Structure 1
Amino acid sequence: MVTLAACAAEVRPPAVYPGERLYVEDHLRAIDAEAWPSVATVPQPRFASWRAQRAEAAFAKACAAAELVLEGADADLTVAHDALFHRLAAHGWIGFAESYLAGEWTTPDSAHLVKVLSALIATGYAPNTPDVPRQDVAGGELPPDLVRLYAGDRVSHQGGVYSTGVPTTVRHAIEAHEKRGKTHFVDITTLSEPTAVDREDLADAQVRAAQWLADAAQVGPGTHVLVYPASGVQAAVVSAGRRGVVDLLSADAEALRDVAEYLVFAGATDAVACHIVPQPLPGPKHWRGHYDAIISVEALESFPQADRVRYARMIERLLDGDGTAVIQTTVATESMSPAARGAVRGLQAFIWPGLDYPSTQDVHKLLDKHTGLRAVAQTHTGSHYRESLAQQRSFFAGHLREAAAAGYDPVYRRLWMYQFALREALFASNMLDSVAFSVVHRHRRGRR
């Protein structure tokens, strides 16, 4: 599920921060400054040397508290260039990511990268991190040839549900956020942690996750299903296998072409129709219809706050009165710390400009206050998502040469390893969770 979010912009570096002076060191001259402006240059704010010394001292203190080894054969990370501390002083966690992308600090392998990020966040390391400069958010999805490098032949980056997870369901009464302020019941299902997992299990786990989504959406013979965006292609294939009639929407023509090719390979072209829409949130002029089931995979968290109401109202408009929508998204838990939120800004800067993980309460509030919809069930699969990220990270690490051959430069390859490691660290720390919300029109609540 890679939040990685399906309606994210294509990978892009942040613009140079306003008012900064920059300089280029010798070790950065091989980096494409046009493609990676903030990586190819080192910021030099006022009192740069003094601020870098303070940043170095704070970083050393955090590493000591985290029990990270910085020197010797057993080092958890190695600092190769003092430019790291200038970046930390200027950009905080974003600078930490920039420095990793520049190769200014390294770890022995990707597992150590997860360890470093987990440990620093756990200690509460929170250097001053500026807001990400505003960018226009494109409607692209992740490049399909990139997704293949960590998800195999499938063009979906959806995470998995492993067969060893045992579900437990409890009904909870939660506070409604509509004006009358009543409570309503939600069936909350939690999966136990997967065991004895290896890389070969990922493909089956992705299919199983799609089956869970189709189950929650009550997809069966003749069900008219909307899958949005294209990252939910596995759910589209599963729905087609149940003799549903499926529409799949995307605002990215290139991604949709790859999805169409995969549907041919999966034998689902007769039941799944792919449609291009002009923007990530199609309005009534762009797409109409009434669907018995809607499956939306990893879109909500990637939209800026201003667009989330439009997203929820789009689901409401397209969902039939007796239908069920399933919204799968990554959420922040109560354990999400300021240090973790600072670290996430690195993902905002380089990959998903609108990324902001909601809480489960935020999702209920969004639906209750702005739509006539209501979440009546939610399934938590965070430990399985974490394991999927670990397998995807490992898979990508084994295909770095193929990534280079496909045209992904060293900065891009390090970026993708960094985002896997950071999100895995946040899931391992129980600061993020993956939740699928089953959503119906409010008038149906008494029928469940």
Structure 2
Amino acid sequence: MAQFTPEHLATVDLELWPAVACVSAPGPLIDVRTRHAEAKFATACHKAGLQLSGEDPDIEVLHGELFVRLAERGWVGLAESYFAGEWESPRLVSVLSALVASGYAPQSRPLAGRRQSRQADLGAELPPELIGLYSGDGVSAFGGVFASGVRTTERVSIPSFVRGAGRGNEPKAHFVDVTEVSAPGPVDRADLSDAQQRAATALLELARIEQGSDVLEYPSSGGAVALAATHVGAMVDILSADAVHLDAVGEYVTINGAAHLARPHLLRNAVPAREEWGARYDAILSVEKLETMGQHTRKLCVRAFDRMLAADGFLSMQTVVATPAFTRTAQQAIDVFREYVWPNLEYPRMEDLHRLFDRETGLRITAETHFGAHYQETLRLQREIFEGRLREAAAAGFDPVFRRLWVFRFALLEALFRLGCLDAVQLRATARARPGRR
């Protein structure tokens, strides 16, 4: 269909943001689809209890191109219209929560580029200057664990997905220590750095890292987790295929006096083969990378973990997972992340992770700590910090479309955690070849 650039989009960079800068030109077919999309959106808002008019509307529609985008690209169109400044909301998280909860699922044409790449896709990291605009410590983009929150642990029997489970020496099920961390008390921006540090410390404890431990952080998460490991006297190798990211990590550990203990290494390949990196470690740390890989690369990555982990070592990982409440509408909503941030994003379920380790490695998950309410608060604080630094973001070269994209990204993730569609978990895995090892 013919595309054109409305007057209000004249300043949008067409090369950087082609789908935001242009919309379909009016015509009989698109006009019918647009009217249908507008009516469906109004119905969905009414069902969700959202006001589109009055003195304090939940959603203020500034340009009718919103409905053209909804007709063609569904939830991605809704997001792109927000990037374009075609609608506003003083309660963006609540609006997105209500739309997802109501089951709003606008029809749209299939999105281009949705097939997952079979290339290892771990090379590109978020720009350090972007993370610095919302991080508690300037380098950490991951979720934190706040000081308040009660921990309760239960030993749960989990079915084995190992081939042949229940026959021979392979048990049909195994026990996992599952810990739930209750919601934190009131927190503010000053608490974010400590919460992220507490999450890093918890990962070290899961991996049983101590003085003299040989530790790998892969892929790198910015330096804070590796630095925490050096504080207990561990030697840490940090791997990444992103040279810019690794330079920033090297500078961070050097400034913090840990260059002799934390050593960044640039990979040629996002998932290193044995020929490129053959070392083995007492512990491996990995923070919020697995969900962005796609299924193919995820398998390659856990196999690499298995190869690089010593026989009596521990893998400690933090990741975001989908829950049973993760609906078709939630799946459609996160299409925008695949379009603009992580092309192969897919939130696994905990069952998927158990199956992944059981089927693809000699490792087994033996402990889980769930802290979704803390992650939700992390996202809220990160969003508020970023919104308070929009001028700094502009000065750093992030244009208005990108700034609105990142606000929307925080808000949608926060909404999905609020609804219980997503959860955050830290897990420990170790070799299953040693019966009774916990």
TM range (shorter): over 0.9
8 Å Cα contact 2:222/2:245 also seen in 1:
no
Deviation at 1:180, TM superposition (A): 2.2
* CA-to-aligned-CA distance 1:161-189 (integer Å, 9 cap, x gap): 10001211100001111122311111001
| Cα distance between partner residues in 2 of 1:56 and 1:436 | 42
8 Å Cα contact 1:149/1:403 also seen in 2:
yes
SS in 2 for 1:230: coil
Q: Which TM-score applies when normalising by structure 1?
A: 0.93
AA of the residue aligned to 1:85: F
SS in 2 for 1:210: helix
Name the structure 2 match of 1:11. Answer: none
Give the number of aligned pairs.
426
Name the structure 2 match of 1:38. Answer: 19
Name the structure 2 match of 1:143. Answer: 127
8 Å Cα contact 1:189/1:378 also seen in 2:
yes
Deviation at 1:124, TM superposition (A): 0.4
AA of the residue aligned to 1:447: R
Name the structure 1 match of 2:241. Answer: 251
| Cα distance between partner residues in 2 of 1:306 and 1:253 | 23
Judged with a 3 Å threshold, the aligned counterparts in structure 2 of structure 1 residues 433 and 445 are, in CA distance, closer, same or farther, namely farther
Q: Percent identity?
A: 46
Q: Does 1:113 align with 2:103?
A: no
- Equivalent position to 2:364, from 363, 366, 374: 374
- The residue correspondences of 1:50-69 to structure 2 (distance < 5 A) are 50-69=32-51
- The residue correspondences of 1:428-439 to structure 2 (distance < 5 A) are 428-439=418-429
8 Å Cα contact 2:65/2:86 also seen in 1:
yes
8 Å Cα contact 2:73/2:111 also seen in 1:
no
Q: Does 1:319 align with 2:309?
A: yes
RMSD: 1.4
| Cα distance between partner residues in 2 of 1:91 and 1:278 | 37
- The residue correspondences of 1:401-420 to structure 2 (distance < 5 A) are 401-420=391-410
* CA-to-aligned-CA distance 1:92-111 (integer Å, 9 cap, x gap): 00111110101111112xxx
8 Å Cα contact 1:232/1:295 also seen in 2:
no
| Cα distance between partner residues in 2 of 1:146 and 1:59 | 33
* CA-to-aligned-CA distance 1:213-240 (integer Å, 9 cap, x gap): 0000110011100011221522211110
The runs of 5 or more residues in structure 1 that have no matched partner are 1-19
SS in 2 for 1:31: coil
Name the structure 2 match of 1:96. Answer: 78
User: Greater RCO between the two (CA within 8 Å, min separation 6)?
Assistant: 1
Name the structure 1 match of 2:276. Answer: 286
8 Å Cα contact 2:81/2:87 also seen in 1:
yes
SS in 1 for 2:134: helix
8 Å Cα contact 1:92/1:129 also seen in 2:
yes
SS in 1 for 2:342: coil
SS in 1 for 2:247: helix
The runs of 5 or more residues in structure 2 that have no matched partner are 166-171
Name the structure 1 match of 2:9. Answer: 28
| Cα distance between partner residues in 2 of 1:444 and 1:76 | 57
Q: Does 1:133 align with 2:104?
A: no
Name the structure 2 match of 1:72. Answer: 54
Larger CA deviation: 68-77 vs 365-374: 68-77
8 Å Cα contact 2:122/2:271 also seen in 1:
no
Q: Which TM-score applies when normalising by structure 2?
A: 0.95
Judged with a 3 Å threshold, the aligned counterparts in structure 2 of structure 1 residues 129 and 341 are, in CA distance, closer, same or farther, namely farther
Name the structure 2 match of 1:17. Answer: none
SS in 2 for 1:222: coil
AA of the residue aligned to 1:406: A
* CA-to-aligned-CA distance 1:281-328 (integer Å, 9 cap, x gap): 122222121000000111110011121110110110111100000121
